[in-house]
Copies of this chain bind each other. A is one copy, B any other.
Amino acid sequence: MKNGNKTQYALLGALSIEPMSGYEIQKMMAGSTNHFWTESNGQIYPTLQQLTKLKEVSCKESYVGAKPRKIYTITKKGMQKLQQWLLQDVVIHPARNELLLKLFYGQNVPPKVSIAHIKAHELRCIRALALYKDIAKTLEKMVKLKQRPVYFLLTVKAGVSLVKTELAWCKDAIKLINKYT
């Protein structure tokens, strides 16, 4: 596990909130970080084992009936590693947007094809926006009551405003295609 591996930091971060099992980390991420970070279980389980070996997390098995659950807790060493990473400059890694790639080469197909791609994207955005707005509203109240740190709210707000911008761009883009093809 090299230093560039970000899965480890995502997991340490999750465990900095509270002790969790691998499965719970997955569910937690699905409901909160999914729009800017995902991890597959093929990454989560091996990485948790590696972090255990490095003593950056500790593992306690608890049983619900005969069913074992491994609850991981971040250690002091793990916490220090997480903090050290948080202090470092953000590393930008190039984005890949398949929609924009297809539109860029849209000249090779009829305009209605590109318009259909944009309309499909509009739908995805509308769905995402509804989701984020609910989460943002709830978080906003909790932040004001100091029941939750402001940091979660920031990321949701980023999601909301970016999706709104994309929606406006979709409308604009369709108009442009209709006008100039």
Q: Which residues of A contact B (CB under 8 A)?
A: 6, 9-10, 13, 16, 32-38, 79, 82-83, 85-87, 89-109, 113-114, 117, 120-121, 124, 143-144, 146, 149-155, 157-158, 161-162, 164-166, 168-169, 172-173, 176-177, 179-181
Check B113 against A86 for contact (C-beta < 8 Å): yes
Check B176 against A97 for contact (C-beta < 8 Å): no
Bound-state CA distance A83–B153 (Å) is 42
Check A13 against B105 for contact (C-beta < 8 Å): yes
Check B36 against A100 for contact (C-beta < 8 Å): yes
- Nearest opposing residue in chain B for A178, CB measure: B150
Check B155 against A165 for contact (C-beta < 8 Å): no
Assuming the A-B contacts A16-B105, A155-B103, are A94 and B34 also in contact, with contact meaning beta carbons closer than 8 angstroms in the complex? yes
10 A-B interface contacts by CB (under 8 A) = A36-B100, A37-B104, A90-B98, A90-B121, A100-B155, A106-B151, A146-B180, A149-B180, A157-B173, A162-B169
Q: Which 4 A-B pairs have the closest CB atoms?
A: A13-B105, A36-B97, A36-B100, A150-B180
Check A101 against B165 for contact (C-beta < 8 Å): no
Inside 8 A of A104's CB, which chain B residues have their CB? Answer: 13, 32-33, 36-37, 151-152, 154-155
Inside 8 A of A107's CB, which chain B residues have their CB? Answer: 16, 149, 151
